[in-house]
Amino acid sequence: MRTAKYLNRSAAQIENDRIRVTVTTEGGHIAELLHKQTGVNPLWVPPWPSIEPSSFDPARHPEYGGHAEAQLLSGILGHNVCLDLFGAPSSEEAAAGIPVHGEAPVAHYEISGDHNTIEMQTVLPKAQLRFERRIYLSADSTLLRISESIENLSATDRPIGWTEHVTIGPPFLEPGLTQFRVSASHSKVMDASFNDGQGLFEPNAEFEWPFCPLKNGAKADLRIFPADRPSGGFTAHLMDPRAENAWFAAWSPTTRVLLAYMWKRSDFPWLARWEENHLRTQPPWNGNGLACGMEFGASPFVESRRDMVNRGTLFGTPTFRWIPAQTSVRVEYCACITTRDAVPERAKWDGSGEVSFD
């Protein structure tokens, strides 16, 4: 492991002959999964300057907007963890200093490691949680093994959101070309509160992956990022309950690069797909956003803690996770970046170091 600067951000890196992994010190974002042979990093880099979240000040940085997401957006990159919220805080939580998606994606991380490992940890003082992540990359491998743990430091059981906010961006993401596959079954469009009702998706519509109902009565194939702009929306997908593991894959026909994540369905039963294709006009988006979030976690929708708990279940599956008092929980998942001549229709992970695609 070595320290580095990435997009003017303090970061740590590990690499082998095939890939390089970059993690930011503030926010703990996996900002880069570079496939060296092609020079492609599929993860999203926003079209605005990235700054350290600790340096953000609303008065000095109006270019990031005057809304609750501004601090998060000032430093967001690639894959960030949403903890202990997946969505906005309540007005009372916001007044107490809880940001959108919780403290984790704007926190400072202590980072250590060796030639093939990055270990990072932080304490979220307001949520009273300790979060740790370990990223392992073996020699000559295209597979990252990632483990995370959350320790509840408080004396009360906590209902939390916990989502791996993986976001794909250009040049890997190309309208009308980039393809996606997901081990999904039942799906639902978020209500009209998302994007203030803008976008083509029919709010609250239930459907089977991948054909999403549109307001005009047609259906969108979510396996291909849309060519028409502007577009944008949010859909929640239950991972196939018949399978032990869940996965998604994103593939570029232009570069043949494939990015896939695999995880245990019991850890993260949901995948949220967020689409932004030049729809948002407010700062810092300014009509220039192009991104696709493939966000797997414990919750289907971005919403407040109260709404998450009141919802309780969707399709018979819990929509949040309990962390018992003074207890730790751990999850493991993996990410793979390689090249293929076509997008796979199936993916398998043995829970350790082997993946396969069909």
- pLDDT single digits (tens) 34-51: 999 999 999 999 999 999
- Per residue of the chain (358 residues), what is the pLDDT tens digit? 999 999 999 999 999 999 999 999 999 999 999 999 999 999 999 999 999 999 999 999 999 998 899 999 999 999 999 999 999 999 999 999 999 999 999 999 999 999 999 999 999 999 999 999 999 999 989 999 999 999 999 999 999 999 999 999 999 999 999 999 999 999 999 999 999 999 999 999 999 999 999 999 999 999 999 999 999 999 999 999 999 999 999 999 999 999 999 999 999 999 999 999 999 999 999 999 999 999 999 999 999 999 999 999 999 999 999 999 999 999 999 999 999 999 999 999 988 778 999 9
- How many whole angstroms separate alpha carbon 161 and alpha carbon 85? 5
**Whole-angstrom distance, CA of residue 78 vs CA of residue 68:** 20
Whether 42 and 172 have beta carbons less than 8 Å apart is answered as: yes
CA 131 to chain CA mean position, Å: 16
Domain of residue 325, residue span: 2-357
Structure tokens at 221: 């194939």
pLDDT at 352: 75
pLDDT value, residue 218: 97
User: What helix, strand, coil percent values describe the chain, rounded to 5?
Assistant: 10, 45, 45
For residue 2, give the 3-state DSSP assignment: strand
For residue 239, give the nearest of 217, 261, 216 by alpha carbon: 261
**Residue 327, helix vs strand vs coil:** coil
Question: What are the backbone dihedrals phi and psi of residue 95, each rounded to the nearest 5 degrees, phi first?
Answer: -65, -25
- The set of residues, in sequence order, having a beta carbon less than 8 Å from that of 318 and lying 6+ positions away, is 269, 298, 312
Residue 354 confidence (pLDDT): 80
Q: How far apart are alpha carbons 348 and 78 in whole angstroms?
A: 24
Q: Distance between CA atoms of 186 and 208, rounded to whole angstroms?
A: 5
**pTM score, whole prediction:** 0.98
Total domains present in the chain: 1
pLDDT score recorded for residue 123: 98
Digit-coded pLDDT (tens) for 139-194: 989 999 999 999 999 999 999 999 999 999 999 999 999 999 999 999 999 999 99
> How far apart are alpha carbons 221 and 130 in whole angstroms?
40
Residue 189 confidence (pLDDT) = 98
Q: What is the CATH classification number for the domain harbouring 211?
A: 2.70.98.10
